[in-house]
Structure 1
Amino acid sequence: MAEEENRSSLSGRRAEAQRNNGRILDAARAVFLADPEAPIAKVGVHAGVGISALYRRYPSKDHLLRALAEDGLNRYIADLETALASTDGPWDTYVACLERVVDGQSQALAQRLAGRFTPTPELTALAMRAGSLAETLFDRVRRSGELRDDISEADVTLLLEMIAVIELPGADGGAALRHRYLALLLQALHAPAEAPLPGRPARQADLAARWRSAGNS
């Protein structure tokens, strides 16, 4: 009987620890999307978790940012895999994927954190997998002829980052506005384009340079 109670108590503590970690990551996502330079203590306040509990799990901001990046990349990969497995048309699939990405804010967060922590080999491998899947999805919709031909994948990445940081006081915190502006963006992305865009498109190399700009200092 005592052994069963011990197992139940251990299971309860683990479940509570998982809930606390979920609150910390959710809070960190909101805090660092708004201000990547914010101190780690602000995450504890936002999560309603004591600073000692926060530091027990994440001894430094670098540790927390790596965990947040891993969580975001895994969720972004899941969104991309769902899209690539879809039997819907290329444009509808692409739209649905961008809607999920905006809701999860995973892809935009990775860009906001670029160069602000030291990535591990495992994170680098995850990022490469996400990049490969995103390129495959983008190429699929580009080949369909439904995406304007003067836009690049990196352009879309930066535009999604802009949408993701929209946050206003209120019940949904800006979610409805994020979807409003995503709908506006999708109208602009859909072919045929009314007029060519000025300047050159952003390149993947431009995004990679943000990681090398070692804000890892």
Structure 2
Amino acid sequence: MHIQDTHWSTASTASVAATASAVAPAGGAMSTVAGNGRGEGTRPGRTTPLRVDAQRNLEHVLRAAREVFGELGYGAPMEDVARRARVGVGTVYRRFPSKDVLVRRIAEEETSRLTDQARAALGQEDEPWSALSRFLRTSVASGAGRLLPPRVLRVGVAEERSGGAGQTAAARLPQQRPQPGGGELGFVPDGAADDDAGVAELLEVVGRLVERARAAGELRPDVSVSDVLLVIATAAPSLPDAAQQAAASARLLDILLEGLRSRSA
């Protein structure tokens, strides 16, 4: 599992727009001027649907990015993503003007996926321990932990230190400010407010799972939300053989769940 901050902050809106203009084909049917921080924007007043081949390339790039970043961490180069997607690196940059934009897109989707999985566990399991263990098993099996944004773990730790359970996470999210020298790593990311809301939502729902299991006496009293997220991040090893990976993940998760459970349960 690679949890790292490399290439995490995105460029400013102006920087992204300039890069997009440089790589977009003149007069093409697909506009990549970033209007939402994800490299998906269109020119003002125009909504142009992707051509079939462009949509297919986008899906290939996103799938390849999840695989590459899941295996190598977010520090993996864009060239690796392009090779895995079997497209030219220019095709990747036409959809995602910088690597930071692609990283943010993948991390945002994985955060949303984890939140949905936590909600499903809350809604479909009456027993607190069953709900928590279901969430962990589903999340680990999906491989989402390998793409967990590093800031989620940092915020989870901050939550526990401040005594919160996720309900007010947005107010305590780390603030990102411009840094001297500018450049791709020197600006507040476009769309950061959306990311903060997504992280806060994940922490709130997982916090409910943790509190329920703790109140029922089934979870060790010292286990925190950040501990649960760390289990997800570490119990999804990346192995070359899919069957070995599934077996290793299941075995490791069984051991970790036993460590989380209250001795009196």
Figure out how many residues of one structure are paired with residues of the other and give that number. 183
Tell me if structure 2 keeps the 8 A contact 1:111–1:161: no
Partner of 1:175: 246
Partner of 1:121: 193
Tell me if structure 2 keeps the 8 A contact 1:167–1:175: no
TM-superposed CA distance for 1:26, in Å, is 2.8
CA distance in 2, matches of 1:128, 1:113: 11
Partner of 2:226: 154
Matched, 1:186 2:243: no
Per-residue Cα deviation, 1:49-95 (whole angstroms, up to 9, x for no partner): 32122111111101101111221122111111111212431111111
Equivalent in 25, 36, 39 of residue 62 of structure 2 = 25
TM-superposed CA distance for 1:175, in Å, is 2.4
Matched, 1:101 2:139: yes
What runs of 5+ residues in structure 2 fail to find an aligned partner? 1-47, 153-175, 177-184
What runs of 5+ residues in structure 1 fail to find an aligned partner? 1-9, 194-217
Alignment of 1:65-144 (within 5 A): 65-112=103-150, 118=189, 120-144=192-216
Task: Report the AA paired with residue 32 of structure 1.
Answer: F
TM-superposed CA distance for 1:161, in Å, is 1.3
Partner of 2:76: 38
CA distance in 1, matches of 2:56, 2:249: 27
Q: Larger helix proportion, structure 1 or 2?
A: 1
TM value normalised by structure 2: 0.61
C-alpha change, 1:73 and 1:171, in structure 2 (3 Å) is closer
TM-superposed CA distance for 1:11, in Å, is 8.9
CA distance in 2, matches of 1:85, 1:176: 28
CA distance in 1, matches of 2:219, 2:113: 25
CA distance in 1, matches of 2:124, 2:74: 34
Equivalent in 62, 86, 100 of residue 62 of structure 1 = 100
Tell me if structure 1 keeps the 8 A contact 2:74–2:103: no
Percent of residue pairs bearing the same amino acid type: 34
Task: Report the AA paired with residue 138 of structure 2.
Answer: R
TM-superposed CA distance for 1:39, in Å, is 1.0
Tell me if structure 1 keeps the 8 A contact 2:107–2:149: no
CA distance in 1, matches of 2:54, 2:194: 24
SS in 1 for 2:203: helix
Root mean square deviation of aligned Cα: 2.8
The more displaced of 88-97 and 100-109 is 100-109
C-alpha change, 1:19 and 1:134, in structure 2 (3 Å) is farther
C-alpha change, 1:171 and 1:128, in structure 2 (3 Å) is closer
